[in-house]
Amino acid sequence: MLLDTNVISELVRPRRSPAVVAYLSGLEPDQSYLSLISVGEIERGIAQVAQSDAPQRAIKLRNWLDGQVVPQYAGRLLPLDEPVIRRWGELMALPEVRARSGIAIEALIAATASVHRLTLVTRNSRDFAVFPVASYDPWTFPLAPNTELENP
């Protein structure tokens, strides 16, 4: 499972989705991965919070990212390597993708899932529907974590 940024970020929301928390807590460590894109998106969020009137929140988020997320996913942070970038180029050339704007980040995450043959776990299934990757939304369809999901 490739966890989208919104899935891993659910763990630090003030009101967490019980279904998502249960899903994540039931995953075995070797069942879930993160794209380095998600680390970048979280980093962007921390910078935005730090620039707002909530510097203490930014410190808490920084501690969470550096002290929990990165160590927990060590060895399971998937980079934007050559196969992923090449797959991204293929995905960006699809007519249904070319017709949409502002989708490059989603395409990088979809390319990562595709290359590594992982199901993408996201709340934004609609955003990823144009890509030929399997996706799962634990907010909409709560599921036992060890349930096998089919990859296309």
Binding region for Mg(2+):
4
Considering only CA atoms, which of 137, 148, 149 is closest in space to residue 20?
A: 137
DSSP helix/strand/coil, 21 = helix
Q: Does the reported pTM lie above 0.75?
A: yes
**138: amino acid identity, one letter:** P
3-state secondary structure labels for all residues of 31-72: HCEEEHHHHHHHHHHHHHHHHCCCHHHHHHHHHHHHHHHHHH
Binding region:
4
Instruction: Give the pLDDT confidence of 101-113 residue by residue, as tens digits.
Output: 788 999 999 999 9
Instruction: Give the pLDDT confidence of 46-89 residue by residue, as tens digits.
Output: 999 999 878 899 999 999 999 999 999 999 999 999 999 999 99
Considering only CA atoms, which of 14, 103, 115 is closest in space to residue 57?
A: 14
CA distance 97 to 66: 34
Considering only CA atoms, which of 37, 140, 144, 143 is closest in space to residue 88?
A: 37
Beta pairing class for 120-121 and 135-136: parallel
The better pLDDT of the pair 47, 100 is held by 47
Give me the pLDDT at residue 108, please: 97
Contact 47, 74 (CB under 8 A): no
All structural domains of the chain: 2-34+79-136 (3.40.50.1010)
CA distance 17 to 91: 31
Considering only CA atoms, which of 5, 91, 94 is closest in space to residue 41?
A: 5
